[in-house]
């Protein structure tokens, strides 16, 4: 998948600029298996990379400026080595933002970007774009930043250039993800372990059809509510809270609900990582079901159309696996984990199309 996309980017580059690119970088998207809305609470998450992603073909230009083509939009952006924010938030914000955040621009670059992740699906197309651009910038100057540095630059871009106060999960999952593995990431210190997903498990994603909006949505509000909960409990982050502490606190109804989700979701992530290691698909599925209910009822980031897809899939899958919304919420994708070999049968039963992750 990534090879085909890189080849496409190289061909588009040659067609636009008249010569082959000096390099082509790639970064995947990600799907989160469990650990939702806990990354900005210093929590634990379990994402894995998808096969689709973003490719950026590049060559050093002969002028001190950037010429960047977003092939999928038929748009082009030209700007100096130290770019300013564009008037609206769009793909140019991410590209320019990465160039500033990485601090790796030494000379002008020509770049052609193309991707095969659908935007607004909750599979981190923006983190994928940022990391692909970051890798191209690094390759162009012979630098080798580690995944955490690239991820932090991408997170700064999201915060400062796109106005989304996101956590670090997406960027780390994209920068350090390993195919066929889920990554147990500790968002407090960015340490991680790659956990192999068993060959007899299938991981698939289906789109709810409701496009999600992080900025328009209530993502930033949820983050503020979690910070308020931690402050009221007298701790630095909800990572350090226990269910008992939240229940015994004087937090108001909504803030308490948010905190209860976070504390229980971090515990679910640990339990899911253990179920993965034990190859216990039934236990893993039960954790997915509990995670969805909590996002729907306590954290209130699901929407009825997504709940319907999740319910239908959970029924079709039965006890050996499960399904839940994935990503920030308010629409987007649903992730399902089930026995390998059931993909066609589940597609038929649900009338839905799956994107195979594993």
Task: Please say which residue, 49 or 328, places its beta carbon nearer to ligand GLA.
Answer: 328
DSSP 190: -
The single residue among 26, 40, 161, 192 that binds ligand GLA, judged by CB under 6 A, is 40
Give me the least distance between CB of 158 and ligand GLA, in Å please: 7
Using rule CB under 6 A, residue 167 touches ligand GLA: yes
Task: List the interface residues with ligand GLA, window 10-39 (CB under 6 A).
Answer: 32, 36-37, 39
Q: Which is nearer to ligand GLA, 38 or 112 (CB)?
A: 38
Using CB under 6 A, which of 42, 52, 67, 170 touches ligand GLA?
Answer: 170
Give the H or E element holding residue 228. helix 219-233
The rounded radius of gyration (Å) of the Cα atoms in the chain is 20
Specify the DSSP element, H or E, that contains 207. Answer: strand 201-207
Cβ 124 to ligand GLA shortest distance, Å:
6
Q: From the CB of 243, what's the least distance to ligand GLA, in Å? A: 19
Q: What's the closest the beta carbon of residue 227 comes to ligand GLA, in angstroms?
A: 13
Residue 74, CB-side half-sphere exposure with 13 Å CA sphere: 0
Which of 41/314 has CB closer to ligand GLA? 41
The residue from 207, 328, 336, 354 that contacts ligand GLA (CB under 6 A) is: 328
Query: What is d(CA 292, CA 297) in angstroms, rounded to the nearest whole number?
Result: 9
| Selected binder of ligand GLA within 95, 132, 137, 169 (CB under 6 A) | 169
Nearer to ligand GLA, 104 or 172 (CB): 172
Q: Which residues are catalytic?
A: 170
Binders in 208-227 for ligand GLA, by CB under 6 A: none
How many of the other CB atoms lie within 10 Å of CB of 191? 10
Of 2-10, 86-94, 163-171, 238-246: span binding ligand GLA (CB under 6 A): 163-171
Tokens of 121: 């699906």
> How would you class 106 by CB atoms within 10 Å of its CB: exposed for 0-12, middle for 13-18, buried for 19 or more?
middle
Closer residue to ligand GLA in complex, CB, 59/93: 93
CA distance 115 to 74: 13
- CB-based contacts of 73, cutoff 8 Å, min separation 6: 91
Q: What is the end-to-end Cα distance of the chain in Å, rounded? A: 13
Bin 82: left if φ > 0, else alpha if -120 < ψ < 50, else beta.
beta
Residue 340: alpha-carbon gap to chain centroid: 24
Output 58 or 161, the one with its CB closest to ligand GLA. Answer: 161
Does the CA dihedral 108-114-117-122 come out positive or negative? positive
- At closest approach, how far in Å is the CB of 21 from ligand GLA? 29
Cβ density class 111-122: b for 16+ within 10 Å, e for less: bbbbbbbbebbb
Residue 341's φ and ψ, nearest 5 degrees, are 100, -10
Shortest distance in whole angstroms from residue 18 CB to ligand GLA: 38
Q: How far is the CB of 236 from ligand GLA (least distance, A)?
A: 18
Binding track over 110-149 against ligand GLA, x by CB under 6 A: ----------------------------------------
Q: Among residues 28, 285, 327, 331, which is the contact residue for ligand GLA, using CB under 6 A?
A: 327
Applying CB under 6 A, the residues found at the interface with ligand GLA are 32, 36-37, 39-40, 166-167, 169-170, 327-328
């Amino acid at each position: 998948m990534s090879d085909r996309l890189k080849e496409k980017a190289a061909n588009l580059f040659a067609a636009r600029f008249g010569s082959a690119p000096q390099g082509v970088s790639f970064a995947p998207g990600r799907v989160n298996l469990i650990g939702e809305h806990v990354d900005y609470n210093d929590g634990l998450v379990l994402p894995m990379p998808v096969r689709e992603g973003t490719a950026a073909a590049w060559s050093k230009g002969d002028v001190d400026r950037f010429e960047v083509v977003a092939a999928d939009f038929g748009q082009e952006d030209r700007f100096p080595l130290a770019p300013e924010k564009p008037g609206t938030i769009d793909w140019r914000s991410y590209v320019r933002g990465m160039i500033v955040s990485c601090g790796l621009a030494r000379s002008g670059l020509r770049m052609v970007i193309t991707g095969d992740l659908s935007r607004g699906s909750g599979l981190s197309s923006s983190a994928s774009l940022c990391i692909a651009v970051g890798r191209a910038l690094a390759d162009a100057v012979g630098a080798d930043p580690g995944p955490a540095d690239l991820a932090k630059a991408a997170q700064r871009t999201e915060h400062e250039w796109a106005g989304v106060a996101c956590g670090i999960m997406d960027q780390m999952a994209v920068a350090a993800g390993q195919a066929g593995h889920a990554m147990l990431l500790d968002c407090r210190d960015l340490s991680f372990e790659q956990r192999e997903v068993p060959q007899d498990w299938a991981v698939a994603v289906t789109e709810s059809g409701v496009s999600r909006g992080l900025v328009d949505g209530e993502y930033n509000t949820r983050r503020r509510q979690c910070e308020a909960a931690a402050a009221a409990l007298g701790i630095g982050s909800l990572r350090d809270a226990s269910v008992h502490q939240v229940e015994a606190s004087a937090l108001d109804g909504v803030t308490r609900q948010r905190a209860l989700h976070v504390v229980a979701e971090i515990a679910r992530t640990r339990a899911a990582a253990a179920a993965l290691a034990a190859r216990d698909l039934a236990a893993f599925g039960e954790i997915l079901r509990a995670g969805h209910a909590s996002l729907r009822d306590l954290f209130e980031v699901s929407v009825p159309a997504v709940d319907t897809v999740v319910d239908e899939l959970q029924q079709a899958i039965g006890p050996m696996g499960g399904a839940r919304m994935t990503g920030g919420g308010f629409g987007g994708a649903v992730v399902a984990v089930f026995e390998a070999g059931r993909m066609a049968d589940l597609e038929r039963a649900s009338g839905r199309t799956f994107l195979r992750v594993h």
